Amino acid sequence: MKSGRCPKCAATPVVHLKWVPDRGDGEIEHEMLLFRKATVLQALMGKEEKYGLLQLYICQSCGFTEWYTADPRRLPVHEMEDAELVWADDAAEEREAYETLRDIHKR
């Protein structure tokens, strides 16, 4: 889909929404994110850390839609409620390397 061609019907072009509007209290529009991190003061000042900006690709022909997360490697998975990393059975080396780097960064 990111190539500009629909994987379902092979049509082109597709629409790319670089951010998806989310309306909360008072119909205030914000970008849809997977995680926000801020102290109360940071939030009031608009200085929160934002992770996982959601983007959409939409086929103009059949309407097929794909969601993507911008910069997924920056997601603070271990700080997100109900989130976990799921590793493939054959990824023991990658998992060990990841956990070693994570432990180094915690120090």
Is 0.85 topped by the overall pTM? no
How far, in Å, CA of 75 to CA of 34, rounded? 8
Determine the Cα angle at 74 with ends 100 and 97, to 5°: 15
DSSP 16-69: EESS-EEE-GGG-EEE-EEEEE--HHHHHTT--EEEEEEEEEEETTT--EEEEE
Question: 67: exposed, middle or buried (C-beta count within 10 Å: 0-12, 13-18, 19+)?
Answer: exposed
Q: What is the pLDDT of residues 11-40, one digit of tens each?
A: 999 999 999 888 877 777 888 888 888 778
Q: How confident is the model at residue 66 (pLDDT cuts 50, 70, 90)?
A: very high
Query: Is pLDDT above 80 for 106?
Result: no
Domain range list for the chain = 14-106
